[in-house]
Structure 1
């Protein structure tokens, strides 16, 4: 068994996640299976993994935590109980930070999903483990920051974590591996945007810097999956177009199972953390434009139908976002008038 080198790291004996085939050719949609696509995309995964490892910069979670601000909480340590006025971050940032951290907390479920789908061998397996390790840092640094700086109620946070993780996570996109690749291409960018906007609205430079560091990772993850999706369009354009349509029209963030998520999401939308306009302009559009999804030619009947439906959906979503913007502006104006 060969030894594969990705970036500057050499890994031990690995094997392909599916049986070897003599060659990979562009194949009609009807004969593409998940196993064939996994094999056909293996070379692209290796290329993207090498690119990722060269671009990714090592960073240490402990360097982003204001440890000198830490002190004991009440309970067995007999310290000071948490109170909202102890937090340096804004109210909307507290809401978003809890949602963002609880989303990261379900990493064991996410790892299980992608390891089961993509496999644990070859370039796919190496990526799965690398991605998991990088995402793990995000949960570590966020929790350390939140507790040390007393940004959120630690008791409520732990109770939310237990409730959320006890439910586990099951992807909405279990139709095929292409659905999963398409979903994470958009979801990683959505997560990056959410983290960056939370930092900007936090009112705390330490929080902003920490979330900017996390967002850099999320952007690299998005590029990995986006480029993989580009290769999938070359191999199986009709199937990939259908998967993108399904994902975009039914998109939900992975934290939708968090207790009280709908209320938190509404607050984050009004607060400018993540809403329909941001979703349309900053998440969906950049990926679709990069891949030239709505301009792609050479599609069969299946792909053309999916492309048309996707275009119609995006136009309707833009209209919904415009109406949301108008309602949000009116609401903010009323709140400002009351303050005056």
Structure 2
């Protein structure tokens, strides 16, 4: 484990090792809370197995996939593939947090528990997509191989505070993406499945958000800098998958995840809950980070407003074209 982060210098007296030790009690508290409220569920119960049939290959009665077989809307299919490929990289995510947080004590307990819960998400989504014939199975597997072969490396350069800040927002972003994908999927079975996944993601967000709050109490200046860096440079973990930019654009237009959603439903709730922009008593570096964070959020809101206007204009054009 890297004991001194390139972000967390020793001038403040805090190293990653000291912070890990100091936050251990908070981690244990959050694990106990999480286990009390977590409701166990079985992925196979959410899959429409009776819709399934053989694909070509080893079975003589195999039926080739065709887009008409899918009940999903186009944007729902795109979103599910993006979300599944993101979940598929779980081995890389596990390596990241196990390296940063360790595999001993309360930290290790959480690392393994989180990994086990997240594993259910890729299992149920893939089973649903294949059983319901929602996607081309060959293309899906090729995408998985490419994406997982690239692996995943976070943008946080192995700072544990940056990692805690990142997952506080990312888990909520994933929950919102799953929830909205379900709403726009066109299939009640899919919506029910994604709603169940979203419940897990929300609990994971609460765990990390509360841990981030504990970090603010211990090291407010360093935590404020980490939050500023993460918010300003935020990218979803699936950004490296094949065709991500185009898929992200289609999901933005389709109302699954865009600038307005990112600002209003992901960044603002965490910042507001922790009162990040109202924290006082900061040193010069923490105060500067807080001011820069506030300016960035104002700028992001303005960009989201422009996006909303473009989206409304596009909708009006399409409606006029349909009426004509």
| TM norm structure 1 | 0.91
Q: 1:332 corresponds to which residue? A: 315
1:54 aligns with 2:49: no
Report deviation, 1:77: 1.6
Alpha-carbon separation, structure 1, partners of 2:229 and 2:30: 25
Alignment deviations for residues 100-129 of structure 1 (CA, whole Å, 9 cap, x no partner): 000000000000000000000000000000
2:76 is the alignment partner of 1:98: no
- Structure 1, residues 268-293: CA drift from partner, whole Å, max 9, x if none? 00000000000000000000000000
Change (3 A) 1:29 1:272: farther
Partner of 2:250, secondary structure, is: helix
Distance 1:62 1:51 in 2: 26
- The aligned runs of 1:132-211 (5 Å cut-off) are 132-211=115-194
2:48 to 66, 71, 81: 66
Q: Does 1:107 align with 2:90?
A: yes
Question: 3-state DSSP class of the match of 1:254?
Answer: coil
The one of 208, 215, 228 aligned to 2:211: 228
Q: In 2, Cα distance between the equivalents of 1:90 and 1:336?
A: 19
Structure 2 distance, partners of 1:77, 1:318, is: 54
Contiguous gaps of at least 5 residues in structure 2: 4-9
Alignment correspondent of 1:24: none
**2:2–2:100 Cα contact (<8 Å) kept:** no
CA distance in 2, matches of 1:294, 1:224: 21
Are residues 1:41 and 2:23 paired? yes
Question: Where in structure 1 do 4 or more consecutive aligned residues deviate above 2 Å?
Answer: 336-340
* Aligned match of 1:8: none
- Quote the residue 2:260 is aligned against: 277
| Deviation by residue 1:261-312 (Cα, 9 ceiling, x = unmatched) | 0000000000000000000000000000000000000100010000000000
Q: CA deviation at 1:338?
A: 2.2
1: CA distance, partners of 2:95 / 2:219: 26
Cα deviation code 1:204-230 (max 9, x no counterpart): 000000000000000000000000000
Aligned to 2:147, what secondary structure does the other structure show? helix
CA distance in 2: counterparts of 1:35 and 1:251, whole angstroms: 25
| Match of residue 278 from structure 2 | 295
Q: CA deviation at 1:337?
A: 2.2
The aligned length equals 316
**Structure 1 residues without counterparts, runs of 5 or longer:** 1-16, 20-27
Q: Cα distance 1:18–1:151, how it changes in 2: closer, same or farther (>3 A)?
A: closer
* 8 Å Cα contact 1:29-1:236 kept in structure 2: no
If the length of structure 2 is used for normalisation, what is the TM-score?
0.96
Contact 1:18 1:39 survives alignment (8 Å): no
Which residue does 2:290 correspond to in 1? 307
